[in-house]
Amino acid sequence: MKLYSNEIVFRGHPDKVCDQISDALLDVYLKGDKNSRCGIEVAGGKGKIFITGEVTSSIMVDTESIVKRVLSDIGYSTDYEIIDNIGKQSSDIALGTNMKVGGAGDNGMMFGYACRDTKELLPTAMVILQKLSMWYDELRKKDKRFLPDGKAQITGLYDNYNKLIKIKTFTVCYQNREDDREKTDKIIMDKCRSICGEYGINIEKFLINPTGRFYIGGFEGDAGLTGRKIVVDSYQSFAPVGGGAFSGKDPSKVDRSGAYKAREIAKRILLSNDNYKWCQVQISYAIGKEKPLAIYIETDRGSIKVDDSLYEECKPRIIINDLKLLDVCYEEKARFGHFRD
């Protein structure tokens, strides 16, 4: 037996707010111009939200109105100074990523993972936290005692086959108005028990707001930055994480498209053989080059030889076409984790 932990952050966590703003802007650019090249970064805190990075597009975007719409939707005030510092993508990068060349938007390695623990082909504890995060977002819209910021962590007891047996400690930090804590804590704990009950998992101990108070949150409580929650965005520590974040990047950036493709390949291989319990895929690229430098596939039964056809399939523009990555709502993916099915 062993103890192992994973975590998620709620939509109102400052880093997650920045991710959502970056992807909301990306969505608007791609909707207006499918050839837009974006690498949008957001930093927020203490009354200011700073938008930077690079965009090359045929359309203009009202950055301020999009930022305020995202803030309002999450449940925050829109009374922020919004600083738009977006520039154009480097022409040097464009030499290798234009439509004619179709090369990768950067160097890097990406990982994909799938396992048989749940119908989503994801680890049980990861799915539990995703469900909790989505439920909490709906709860705070209806019950004003609950505020947007928060995070949750599971420390689980696992057997020698990496199966979750029970939850040793379920830690939840949630922003609230602090005037009815006994009742609001009970609502949180009851929901945790309900979600875990779907998987036959018992909870031994709760830690709810361990400091004793959580009223000041969001950009007033902490600064936020795009791409600072890459473990939450991927597999919550159950699998390796690639070198780059997702949010704000158009799919020519293989940090994003390569990771989505690696997940798709991992699911496909897992389902191709009933004997596999899990599958992990690594893909690596060089900027401006179409074909991956390497593809490595591993399962609980050993590594798998990679056919040349998979290298062709993993060219960025083929990935974009196959997975329809120019028609995805990336803001929605940024809310609760990019891999949920």
Q: What are the C-alpha distances in Å from 12 to residues 8, 26, 36, 108, 226?
A: 12, 19, 28, 29, 13
Q: Does the residue 140 lie in any domain?
A: yes
Active site residues: 13, 15-16, 41, 54, 151, 214, 222-223, 228-229, 249, 253, 255
Nearest Cα to 38, choosing from 13, 17, 21?
A: 21
Nearest Cα to 315, choosing from 263, 257, 243, 247?
A: 257
At 19-78, the pLDDT tens digits run: 999 999 999 999 999 999 999 999 999 999 999 999 999 999 999 999 999 999 999 999
Q: How many CB atoms lie within 10 A of CB 297?
A: 20
Q: Does the residue 300 lie in any domain?
A: yes
Structure tokens at 181: 């804590």
Looking at the structure, do residues 260 and 188 belong to the same domain, yes or no? no
Looking at the structure, do residues 133 and 207 belong to the same domain, yes or no? yes
The answer to whether 116 touches 270, Cβ cutoff 8 Å, is yes
Show Cβ contacts of residue 231 under 8 Å, excluding neighbours closer than 6 positions. 7, 237, 241
- E-assigned strand segments in 46-145: 48-56, 81-84, 108-115
Nearest Cα to 125, choosing from 158, 97, 80, 91?
A: 158
Total number of domains in the chain: 2
Q: Give me the CATH number covering residue 138.
A: 3.30.300.10
Q: Parallel, antiparallel, or unpaired: how do β-strands 278-285 and 302-304 relate?
A: unpaired
At 246-301, the pLDDT tens digits run: 999 999 999 999 999 999 999 999 999 999 999 999 999 999 899 999 999 999 99
User: What is the model's pLDDT at position 96?
Assistant: 47
Question: Per DSSP, what are the bridge partners of residue 304?
Answer: 297
HSE-CB of 208 using CA atoms within 13 angstroms: 17
Looking at the structure, do residues 263 and 308 belong to the same domain, yes or no? yes
Q: Does the residue 194 lie in any domain?
A: yes
At 202-229, the pLDDT tens digits run: 999 999 999 999 999 999 999 999 999 9
Average pLDDT over residues 159-166: 93
What's the domain range around 189?
A: 2-9+123-218
Q: Parallel, antiparallel, or unpaired: how do β-strands 2-9 and 37-45 relate?
A: unpaired
* pTM metric for this prediction: 0.95
Q: How many CB atoms lie within 10 A of CB 30?
A: 22
Looking at the structure, do residues 165 and 258 belong to the same domain, yes or no? no
Q: How many CB atoms lie within 10 A of CB 134?
A: 17
The overall average pLDDT reported for the chain is: 95
Looking at the structure, do residues 128 and 171 belong to the same domain, yes or no? yes
The answer to whether 285 touches 319, Cβ cutoff 8 Å, is no
Distance CA(29)–CA(52), nearest Å, equals 15
Question: Per DSSP, what are the bridge partners of residue 156?
Answer: 4, 167
Helix (H, G, I), strand (E, B) or coil at 37: strand
